[in-house]
């Protein structure tokens, strides 16, 4: 398989150029002004699939942003790999913290990526990682061809909850039928330590609107006589965790699967350096639920975080005002057995119960999704493990990630197949943050590992059927 490596090395500049073209398109799914950019990104991906000779390439319309589909069925007796990824990206704010335009990709060396990293919104999440699959397909097709059937489904709404993909999947079960789903939209432990993600947290996203007096008031004339919505909101938020940093919503933990001692032991073997963790994000101490390690808090325990809070006067200088309203956006990360709709309603009920006299509350339930756990005793996992070992000369660890890809649990429910999460991002890549980047070598090694997965998978599939 040296020839794959050689081909990737020889074509690396073109691969990067092609990726740059995609990264230049500001396909921010959350911003309606970028609607046409979203479509341009979808069209460009479709062009790539067409050029590779995939069949039935199409832009599938949805009520929101379109889904790109393409397939190559070489033999119905062979297994089918369904590749999923997303071409939409997160908004860029705060724009002033970017060193350059987020949609003018460039390569710069970093401490962690001495060979260079690609800086651009979406470089890692997920255009760069998704594009590795397109290039892996090219690598295979330029050599002996693909050893199994492949279907591509690339969506444009992952960062806003995948609501329309959910409908698409439910309506196209036959078209999407597969033996394994392959996704690169997660991370690995470090540059030299590969890992396969076997868990994702679920998500429940909420918004609060607290209303007090019918208008902003003079904070001298009225201060001390009415419930200030921001004071009340702060009180409510503060009460959502107890002194052990456990979430206080009644029933919140009822269904959480407690981890076994064996699982905890396994987790403790995963290389994790607390000092590096703290250093990398500039904090002087870790923080979290009593009785669990940082890596456990990040992966197998639920969390509740305020994502944004606003209200009152925030412009220059001071204005003595007692605001009429206060707002907060709150996300809860969920672990196996917690159901996001159930958690959302427990949250809503609790918030209503703790709303102080003198203000009223409106709770808005945004999107959500179920957590996912992947077994490790499958040929899909084995194939991925072999592919990583082949490329990185090290057996990958199985890790659980704290992030969410809500559609993965739905795939399992609707398509009855497991997903292998082969992510190549690093925690330091700053996804969703200013100066997002992706290591050039992560990109290239990812292409190689993915190509090898196909051969491993079809081999194991054959011997197991």
Q: Classify residue 69 by burial, with Cβ atoms within 10 Å: 0-12, 13-18, 19+.
A: buried
Greatest alpha-carbon pair distance for the chain in Å reads 81
Q: From the list 80, 123, 164, 186, which residue makes contact with ligand BES (rule: CB under 6 A)?
A: 186
**Residue 197 in 3-state DSSP?**
strand
**CA–CA separation, 431 and 277 (whole Å):** 16
Q: Between 191 and 220, how does the x/- string for binding to ligand BES read (CB under 6 A)?
A: ---------x--x-----------------
Q: Considering the complex, state which of residue 155 and residue 185 has its C-beta at the smaller distance from Mn ion.
A: 185
Kindly state the smallest distance separating residue 425's Cβ from Mn ion, in Å: 9
143 HSE (CA, 13 A, CB side)? 20
The stretch near ligand BES (CB under 6 A) out of 96-104, 158-166, 344-352, 379-387 is 158-166
Task: Give which of ligand BES, Mn ion, none residue 401 binds (C-beta under 5 to 8 Å, depending on kind).
Answer: ligand BES
Alpha helices in 146-273 (DSSP H): 163-171, 229-238, 261-269
Residues touching ligand BES: how many (CB under 6 A)? Answer: 16
Q: Considering the complex, state which of residue 400 and residue 452 has its C-beta at the smaller distance from ligand BES.
A: 400
**CA–CA separation, 50 and 72 (whole Å):** 11
Is residue 370 a contact point for ligand BES (CB under 6 A)? no
Is residue 302 a contact point for ligand BES (CB under 6 A)? no
**Residue 15 in 3-state DSSP?**
helix
Q: Considering the complex, state which of residue 372 and residue 392 has its C-beta at the smaller distance from ligand BES.
A: 372
Contact of 356 with 227, CB cutoff 8 Å: yes
Is residue 161 a contact point for ligand BES (CB under 6 A)? yes
Kindly state the smallest distance separating residue 162's Cβ from ligand BES, in Å: 7
Q: From the list 37, 125, 138, 166, which residue makes contact with ligand BES (rule: CB under 6 A)?
A: 125
**CA–CA separation, 3 and 10 (whole Å):** 10
Kindly state the smallest distance separating residue 121's Cβ from ligand BES, in Å: 12
Q: From the list 138, 166, 401, 448, which residue makes contact with ligand BES (rule: CB under 6 A)?
A: 401
Contact of 342 with 327, CB cutoff 8 Å: no
Q: From the list 199, 336, 403, 439, which residue makes contact with ligand BES (rule: CB under 6 A)?
A: 403
Contact of 211 with 229, CB cutoff 8 Å: yes
The stretch near ligand BES (CB under 6 A) out of 156-164, 229-237, 265-273, 390-398 is 156-164
**CA–CA separation, 266 and 284 (whole Å):** 27
Q: From the list 37, 71, 126, 448, which residue makes contact with ligand BES (rule: CB under 6 A)?
A: 126
Q: Considering the complex, state which of residue 156 and residue 403 has its C-beta at the smaller distance from ligand BES.
A: 403
Is residue 404 a contact point for ligand BES (CB under 6 A)? yes
Kindly state the smallest distance separating residue 158's Cβ from Mn ion, in Å: 6
The stretch near ligand BES (CB under 6 A) out of 182-190, 213-221, 267-275, 310-318 is 182-190
155-195-255-247 Cα dihedral, nearest 10 degrees: -90
DSSP code per residue over 102-152: TTS-EEE--SS-TT-EEESTTTTTTHHHHHHHHHHHHHHHHTT--SSEEEE
| Contact set with Mn ion (CB under 5 A) | 125-126, 185
By CB under 6 A, name the binding residues for ligand BES.
125-126, 158-159, 161, 185-187, 200, 203, 367, 401, 403-406
């Amino acid at each position: 398989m040296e020839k794959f490596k050689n081909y990737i090395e020889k074509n690396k500049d073109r691969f990067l150029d092609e990726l740059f073209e995609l990264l230049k398109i500001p396909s921010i799914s959350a911003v309606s002004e970028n609607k046409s950019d979203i479509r341009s990104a979808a069209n460009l991906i479709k062009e790539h699939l067409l050029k590779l000779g995939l069949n039935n390439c199409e832009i599938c319309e949805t009520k929101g942003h379109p889904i790109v589909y393409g397939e190559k069925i070489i033999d119905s007796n062979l297994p089918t790999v369904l590749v999923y990824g997303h071409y939409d990206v997160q908004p860029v704010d705060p724009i002033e913290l970017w060193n350059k335009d987020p949609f003018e990709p460039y390569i710069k060396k970093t401490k962690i990526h001495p060979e260079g990293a690609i800086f651009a919104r979406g470089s890692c999440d997920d255009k760069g990682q998704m594009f590795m699959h397109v290039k892996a397909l090219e690598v295979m097709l330029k050599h002996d061809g693909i050893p199994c059937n492949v279907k591509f489904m690339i969506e444009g709404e992952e960062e806003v909850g995948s609501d329309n993909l959910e409908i698409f999947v439910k309506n196209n079960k036959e078209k999407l039928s597969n033996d394994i789903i392959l996704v690169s939209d997660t991370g690995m432990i470090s540059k030299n330590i590969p890992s396969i993600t076997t868990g994702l947290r679920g998500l429940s996203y909420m918004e609060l609107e607290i209303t007090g007096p019918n208008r902003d008031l003079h904070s001298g004339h009225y201060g001390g006589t009415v419930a200030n919505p921001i004071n009340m909101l702060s009180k409510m938020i503060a009460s959502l965790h107890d002194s052990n940093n456990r979430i206080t919503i009644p029933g919140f933990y009822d269904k959480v699967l407690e981890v076994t001692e064996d699982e905890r032991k396994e987790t403790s073997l995963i290389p994790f350096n607390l000092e590096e963790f703290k250093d990398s994000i500039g904090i002087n101490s870790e923080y979290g639920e009593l009785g669990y390690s940082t890596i456990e808090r990040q992966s197998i325990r639920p969390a509740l975080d305020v994502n944004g809070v606003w209200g009152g006067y925030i412009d220059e200088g001071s204005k003595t005002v007692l605001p009429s309203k206060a707002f907060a956006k709150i996300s809860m990360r969920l672990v196996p057995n917690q159901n996001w709709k159930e958690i959302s309603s427990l949250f809503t009920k609790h918030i209503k119960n703790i709303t102080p006299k003198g203000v009223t509350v409106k709770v808005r339930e945004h999107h959500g999704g179920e957590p996912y756990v992947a077994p490790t005793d499958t040929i899909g996992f084995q194939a991925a493990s072999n592919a990583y070992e082949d490329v990185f000369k090290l057996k990958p660890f199985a890790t659980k990630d704290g992030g969410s890809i809500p559609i993965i649990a739905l795939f399992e429910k609707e398509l009855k197949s497991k997903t292998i999460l082969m992510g190549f991002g690093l925690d330091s890549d700053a996804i969703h943050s200013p100066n997002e980047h992706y290591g050039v070598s992560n990109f290239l090694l990812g292409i190689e590992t993915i190509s090898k997965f196909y051969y491993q998978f079809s081999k194991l599939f054959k011997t197991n059927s």
